[in-house]
Chains A and B, each alone.
Chain A
Amino acid sequence: MGGWRKIIHIDMDAFYASVEQRDNPAYRDKPIVVGGRPEQRGAVAAASYEARKFGIHSAMPARTAQQKCSDLIFVEPRFDVYREVSQQIRAIFLSYTDLVEPLALDEAYLDVTQNKAHIPSAVAIAKVIKQKILAATQLTASAGVSINKFLAKIASGMDKPDGLYLIAPAQAEAFVETLPIEKFHGIGQVTAKKMRALGIQTGADLKQWSEANLVQRFGKVGRFYYKVARGQDDRPVNPNRIRKSVGAEHSFAEDLTSLDQMGVELERLAQRVAERLDKQKQSGYTLTLKIKYADYQQITRSQTLSEPIRDASAIYGLAQDLLWAHVGDGKKVRLLGITISQLVNAAELQYIQLSLTL
């Protein structure tokens, strides 16, 4: 085990749905989804394994989910309860290592290279953690064990639910080579499609590409692809993960039809984003406007500025520019969102190396 890190990725199985099934016997063994109701135009936040058999998955519009399964039970989310469970499992993680990086309420990375239990085997730790989670919450989790975050995350998805999967250092490269491209965490549907068009079907294909070519084709993230194609990922498990973006979005109960209405909503969103930025003492260079039309078609448009912005009026102004430039004529809008990314701390603002506009 010379020098390898020991990383565990823990992912609760169908988390919100499982909590609901635990607390309400009527939901057990039934297809349920947690999230908004179809008549409120909500989306699926989590689907039970029974619901997944019908092809229902998270982020799917509730209406579509209902069409796929007429017996589907819609359950209102109870975030307080989920947060409580999340605290419980986090306490278990922290009893083994302080290097815990929560990704969401239901998943986290753990670096157990050094651990408080002095257990050399990461697999053994993962097993105990799973047992403790079950004992404390009556819920199952899946664990992935490997030498970095990328591989651990893939591993946790290999054997769901209630799984435990190890990608050993010696297998890492071979494992990634056989992996279909869309299974790569960090490669979404759109990128996967692009890659398939370029003849990249698996990790082995991806590996044929030079770093420079990947960057040319996909931008900066090409570097990440280059590394993970080799099973490498040196991102540390960061217990104080810094947010990459701050944003807010809203689905409207009734579709918006006029630019005036949209402007009013944008102003509200801008206000909320500005408040969140302020709370975190951050500002950002890039603003992204998300527009989802009534037909669920979605567009995002971004603009990067030479100086970071943080106040509501600047955010509103820029978001409105983007809206006017890009919103489809006469199209009904069901959702608007504003995200600020490329964040910098307010303290770092003091010195800005100016750039040439090439």
Chain B
Amino acid sequence: MKFTCAQSELNTHLSVVSRAVPSRPSKPILGNVLLKADMATQQVTLIGFDESLGIETSFSAQIEQTGTLTLPAKLLTDIVSRLPSEDINLEETDSDATLILTCSSGHYQVRGMSSEDFPSLPLVKEGQAATLSPEGLLEGLQGSLFATSPDETKQVLTGVHLIVEPEILEFAATDGHRLAVVQTVDQKPDATSEEASVSELDVTVPAKALRELERVLQLHQTTEAIALRFDPTQVIFELGQQRITTRLLEGQYPNYRQLIPKQFERQMTLDRKQLIAALERIAVLADQKNNIVKLTLDNDQQTLALSVEAQEVGSGREIIPAQISGDNLEIAFNVKYLLDGLKVIACPEVQVQCNTATSPSILTPLSGVKMTYLVMPVQIRS
């Protein structure tokens, strides 16, 4: 293997794939990235794989000799990221799986391992396929990922549930206390006939893989459609030169649609930024104790009062204008849950609907993305 490429290019792509390299690999070779140079295509391909999540990315380089080698991911990334921003030369030695990096400042030898034992990324041969627009995908991910459960023992709740129906793409995530559902209408930029016919898809994808997908989407700001291939155990996202594969989460995803109330006794409309700003100030004190903010809906004054009582620390109260219908109500929430949702609802006005102080409330944007964010309140007892 021998090739020359820009340091910045190699660095960027290395940092993408190294996110799939486990910090404590179950076998040594998984701590490596696979480096593949192909003379025929003049492309360098990098792969990182932790046996569940796999990331593959390719870029153009001047390839003089075809070859494959695996190298310690962290070591290689740390070296390459510090090299001067210029063309660098990479060459495999003839004998012992060692890579020599040469640049104007000097040269480095890094001992690698043969690629034979590196597991190949799973393929989906006889699965189904769908294409998604990058905007729709990103919107859905941003509106749902935050609500997944970080608790590994919660199995399916650590992932985002994805439903693809003709023209509609639905993302749902819940950690048991809140539920975020985003529906994006899928405008495929390029609906080629063969593959575009969307078969219905209903899978739960680990949040970890989707966070990488989100990162890659943000990084590349592509307008190209993203292809999605899946079978009952794997899903593969293909975005131009990048491929992300992940094992799917097994198990029945909760029937969340039935959790969303259809009718509400109370409703208010608020300026989103104003609400966020007030909640963030309240959160400073709420943070000190139990993260609880108390909301008081006052129909007569058409205001919402936000208050916090952090025992032995302090207290705070703010009042903001709100268009309120329905009776007055006191209801408490985990302030973090409210802020998480409000931050991804990208529209000027937000609607909050509730029934009672102990039943689910929902937050929805008044324009833009179609999103439903359901939050369970905190019950206060004396």
Question: Residues of A with Cβ closer than 8 Å to B?
Answer: 211-212, 215-216, 220, 222-223, 349-358
Contacts and interface: CB of A to CB of B under 8 A. Distances in A.
Given A356-B176, A358-B176, A358-B254, A351 B152 contact: no
Contacts of A353: 177, 334, 376, 378-379
Contact of B376 (A215, A350, A351, A356): A356
Interface of B: 152-153, 155, 157, 174, 176-179, 254, 256, 259, 290, 292, 332, 334, 358, 360, 374, 376-382
Given A356-B177, A356-B259, A351 B155 contact: no
A349 B376 contact: no
Contacts of B176: 355-356, 358
B258 to A, nearest CB: 10
B292 A351 contact: yes
A201 B153 CA distance: 24
B174 A349 contact: no
A211 B158 CA distance: 15
B376 A223 contact: no
Nearest to B255: A358
9 contacts: A211-B152, A212-B153, A220-B153, A353-B379, A354-B377, A356-B176, A356-B177, A356-B360, A356-B376
A355 B376 contact: yes
- Counting chain B CB atoms within 10 Å of each CB, the highest count among A216, A354, A355 belongs to A354
B172 to A, nearest CB: 12
Nearest to A215: B153
Contacts of B382: 350
A351 B377 CA distance: 10
A358 B174 contact: yes
Nearest to B250: A216
B259 A357 contact: yes
A355 B177 CA distance: 5
A354 B379 contact: yes
B152 A215 contact: yes
B60 to A, nearest CB: 39
Contacts of B290: 351
A43 to B, nearest CB: 36
B379 A222 contact: no
A351 B382 CA distance: 9
A68 to B, nearest CB: 43
Given A351-B332, A356-B176, A216 B380 contact: no
A-B pairs with the 6 shortest C-beta distances?
A358-B254, A354-B376, A215-B153, A352-B379, A353-B378, A355-B176
A211 B378 CA distance: 31
A351 B380 contact: yes
B375 to A, nearest CB: 10
A212 B157 CA distance: 13
Contact of B378 (A220, A351, A357, A358): A351
A229 to B, nearest CB: 15
A356 B290 CA distance: 20
A222 B151 CA distance: 13
Nearest to B253: A358
Nearest to B258: A357
A355 B174 CA distance: 11
B152 A212 contact: yes
Contacts of B153: 212, 215-216, 220, 222-223
Contacts of A212: 152-153
Contacts of B378: 351-354
A351 B381 CA distance: 6
A352 B174 CA distance: 18
Given A356-B174, A358-B174, A358-B176, 16 more contacts: A211-B152, A212-B152, A212-B153, A215-B153, A220-B153, A223-B153, A350-B380, A350-B382, A352-B378, A353-B177, A353-B334, A354-B358, A354-B377, A354-B378, A354-B379, A356-B179
